[in-house]
């Protein structure tokens, strides 16, 4: 993976940019703020543009609010310029990762979100499942997955800064 620049820039990507990637963006910013870490460039986008201009899904917003996390994102579609702008491009699932590669994302800066969760087993499903068509409990489960992975990502980025 490419050495992160100062400041690291992170793009979280899911399909429509209204559920998983806005949650990841909000959780990461929340955790960084709790740790007193600032200067990260953080955004989220979707591989599809169906929801461009919309706020997060109301169920994603509700679970985030319940857990004290603000979701600042407005849905947008990934643009080719994002591949030069972001040092870390993080896909929520294998399908979005494949779509990003087909769009020209640099493979050395692209990873799956659950790869940052230190407790995630290599034998487990690598994807953060899309909760869109399910109930509220799916959003709770996705929030927990993203919380663990965002903590791992923040730990990795913090360690990389200290190693310099």
Q: Which residues are identified as catalytic?
A: 14, 20, 130
Question: Of 50, 46, 37, which Cα lies nearest the Cα of 19?
Answer: 46
What span, in angstroms and rounded, lies between the C-alpha atoms of 66 and 87?
A: 31
86 close to 9: Cβ distance less than 8 angstroms: yes
What are the counts of helices (DSSP H) followed by strands (DSSP E) for the chain?
5, 4
Question: Of 104, 58, 56, 101, which Cα lies nearest the Cα of 76?
Answer: 56
């Amino acid at each position: 993976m490419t050495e992160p620049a100062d400041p690291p820039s992170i793009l979280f990507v899911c399909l429509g940019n209204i559920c998983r990637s806005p949650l990841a963006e909000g959780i990461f910013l929340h955790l960084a703020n709790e740790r007193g870490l600032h200067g990260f460039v953080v955004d989220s986008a979707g591989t599809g543009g169906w929801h461009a201009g919309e706020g997060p899904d109301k169920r994603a917003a509700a679970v985030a609010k319940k857990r004290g996390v603000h979701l600042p994102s407005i849905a947008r579609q990934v643009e080719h310029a994002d591949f030069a702008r972001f040092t870390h491009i993080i896909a929520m699932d294998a399908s979005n990762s494949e779509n990003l590669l087909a769009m020209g994302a640099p493979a050395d800066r692209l990873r799956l979100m659950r790869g940052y969760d230190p407790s995630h087993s290599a034998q487990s499903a690598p994807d953060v499942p899309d909760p869109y068509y399910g109930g509220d409990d799916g959003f709770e489960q996705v929030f927990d997955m993203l919380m663990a992975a965002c903590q791992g990502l923040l730990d990795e980025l913090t360690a990389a800064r200290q190693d310099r």
